[in-house]
Structure 1
Amino acid sequence: MVNPGRVCCITAPFLLSIAVLVCLVLVFIAGTYDRNDTVDDLYFLKIDLTNLTLSSSANIADTLDGANSTALGGALETAKQSLGMKDYYTIYMRSYCSWNGNDTYANCTDPTAYFWFNPVSVWGLNSTGESVDDLLPKSFRDGLSAYHAASKAIFYLYVFALSAAAVTLVVGISAIFSRWGSFFTTFCAAAMALMMIGASVTVTAVYIILKGALNDALKKDYGIVSTIGTKVLSVTWIGTAFAVGAGFFWLLSVCCCSGRSPYHKNRDEARRTRAEKTPYTYERVGSPYLGPSDHQSVPLHTMGAAPGFQQPLQHHQHQQTAYEPFRPQVV
């Protein structure tokens, strides 16, 4: 039988581990369902192109070479009008969605591993007859390169965190019966917490850099605005807090709440318990109160002869070993 105290001891870390798993699943399935406001609202970055315009020549001259700026603006205009560039793009860990007007979170792509969003190819800018890669500012190219390089690390960190959360729950079942189970579960929970911390820190830093690069290059001159998805960052950081808490409580359960059931002692302890004398039980009292036993022949009182009366020697000897009369000899 499972010890109820042990069950209560691991309930908190077990529930926290489940919460971590739920947060990770939300991050993984975000952007995989068309027009689903619940999960598709968990985007890392949103790009708004509804106000796409060309800036004045003075503003262009302040940021980029005039000819290059005009060429890039022309490529953006052509992509918007002729190549199917959408009004909105939302970027997720494994896919992106794009739509026009109020058709929110439509046209979501199939999820892929190591996904990264390349605006040049997605918007079809190189199909406008311009070599856009040479027209983009250096800050934009550097930010995009950092995002591309980190996309694999982000994917691996989240996959490992998801795997560690699942293993923690499976191994955590053994913690119901023994503190050794908690000991091994603690290692899995520690790995889960480390992966969650790494994933949350990396994804936050990378998308902040990407947002800055896009806004620096495209917001002022072309009206393209990028914003960070605060909801998904809240989910991943809440999951990180749950993971750290789960690791702490799994470690605490190693030291507390033994898994040994009080209703199932070991054999030696049970044997010792049966050998102990319990109160209010009958136990025969030995002689002299209940008469002699096989090993006791001492009389209570010797019965001598009356004064002046002579008995034969044998009878006298027999009388010296007689027991007190009127006492029961057998119980």
Structure 2
Amino acid sequence: MGKVGRFACILTPMLLTLASLICFVIVMLGQTPWKGNSAPSTALGRELYFFKADTSNITLDPQTILDKLPDNIQPNNDFLTAIQNSASSKQLKDFYQVGLFSYCEGDKDNATGKETITYCSARKFQFHFDPTEVWGLKNTSVQAILGEKFETGMNAYAKVAGWMNWAFVIVLVLTGVEFVVGFFAVFSRWGSLVTTVVSTAQTIFALAAAITATALYATITGIFESVLRPYNIDASMGKQMLSTLWLAVAFSIASGFFWLASVCCCSGRSPHKKVVVEKTPYTYERVASPAFGGQQGHQMQSSSQWPKSGHGQEQSGTAYEPFRSHA
């Protein structure tokens, strides 16, 4: 058993750590261009996004917008004009999908519903999606038109996105370290203890990153829905991306539990060890005396029963005590 049992005990958290690492890599590759500004190379990469804005059904008719707005609120004609100009210049696309380090945009066939990504931004650390810049409305009156709620929310998003990007990078590094250090846990419980410490740190950052991403993009979705919904701009969160992210967190928590269990269990030592005692070579063993009938184990009577010598000294209890040698 021994080392085999120890290896079996370590195999489970190792596989869970590997699964967590793969999930986090997938999350970080979502909406990442393959070459240059081309679309992601896989269908999975195209479908993984935190946030999506669908502008394919945007409404530019003031009367239609007025029907969707609360009473006493008029549609902003300046915003409509700016959006119309952006749409006519082909700068406004049908949809925008936001990943961790980049975003992708594309066209949508309203008849079939098929979406085609036409452009992805270059990967950028501490990336955040700025719709006014992407739609060509940066440094215009539209920023003021959208209101303080929209501006405040997007500014908070830009700041938090920087920390969130760092958190995901740290998680990826710690997960890799956890997997490598985990090999040393096969040999001793000390290795399991070190791996458990690394796993705990990784789980903390993983939870922080996942909670931040979920809360952040839920807030952005809410802002888009409240401010831009009257213009028929839809906003949604990516269910596949969030599912993959929280699956990675679940793997992280599970691996940490099993790493901790391996500190207390599965020592790797054999439960039964046989102790073999060999005789020392060239030892001597007492044999029976031929003078007393060859019966071994009989002891001679005490010297007091023998006549004393003339010198008043007692003689030895036995006169003959041969030994045999054993090699």
TM-score, normalization by structure 1: 0.78
Query: How big is the shift at 1:66?
Result: 4.0
Amino acid at match of 1:109: S
CA distance in 2, matches of 1:63, 1:74: 22
8 Å CA contact 1:140–1:216 kept in 2: the answer is: no
Aligned to 2:116: 104
- The Cα offsets for residues 8-36 of structure 1, whole Å up to 9 and x where unpaired, read as 11111111100110011001111113153
What is the total number of aligned residue pairs between the two structures?
Answer: 285
2:95 to 88, 91, 97: 88
Aligned to 1:197: 207
Q: Aligned in 2, Cα 1:285/1:80: closer, same or farther, shift over 3 Å?
A: same
2:164 aligned with 1:154: yes
2:235 to 226, 238, 260: 226
CA distance in 2, matches of 1:88, 1:2: 58
Unaligned runs of 5+ in 1: 278-282, 293-297, 302-319, 324-328
Amino acid at match of 2:54: D
CA distance in 1, matches of 2:28, 2:320: 100
- Tell me, what secondary structure is at the counterpart of 2:117? coil
Query: How big is the shift at 1:58?
Result: 3.7
Query: How big is the shift at 1:228?
Result: 0.5
Aligned to 1:142: 152
2:227 aligned with 1:257: no
CA distance in 2, matches of 1:76, 1:300: 126
Aligned to 2:48: 42
2:18 aligned with 1:6: no
Query: How big is the shift at 1:126?
Result: 3.5
CA distance in 2, matches of 1:197, 1:17: 15
CA distance in 1, matches of 2:72, 2:156: 22
Select the structure that is richer in strand. 2
Query: How big is the shift at 1:139?
Result: 1.9
2:126 aligned with 1:114: yes
Amino acid at match of 2:45: V
Q: CA RMSD in A?
A: 3.0
Alignment of 1:163-312 (within 5 A): 163-220=173-230, 222-260=231-269, 273-275=275-277, 286-288=286-288, 298-300=291-293
8 Å CA contact 1:83–1:123 kept in 2: the answer is: no
Identity, % of aligned pairs? 34
- The Cα offsets for residues 84-111 of structure 1, whole Å up to 9 and x where unpaired, read as 2111110000000011124523311221
TM-score, normalization by structure 2: 0.79
- Tell me, what secondary structure is at the counterpart of 1:86? coil
CA distance in 1, matches of 2:31, 2:292: 102
Unaligned runs of 5+ in 2: 109-113, 295-317
8 Å CA contact 2:2–2:271 kept in 1: the answer is: no
- Tell me, what secondary structure is at the counterpart of 1:113? coil
Aligned to 2:29: 29
Query: How big is the shift at 1:276?
Result: 5.2
- The Cα offsets for residues 276-302 of structure 1, whole Å up to 9 and x where unpaired, read as 57xxxxx997422xx67xxxxx5327x
CA distance in 2, matches of 1:60, 1:140: 19
Amino acid at match of 1:95: S
Q: Aligned in 2, Cα 1:126/1:155: closer, same or farther, shift over 3 Å?
A: closer
**Which one has a bigger Cα radius of gyration?**
1
CA distance in 1, matches of 2:92, 2:260: 52
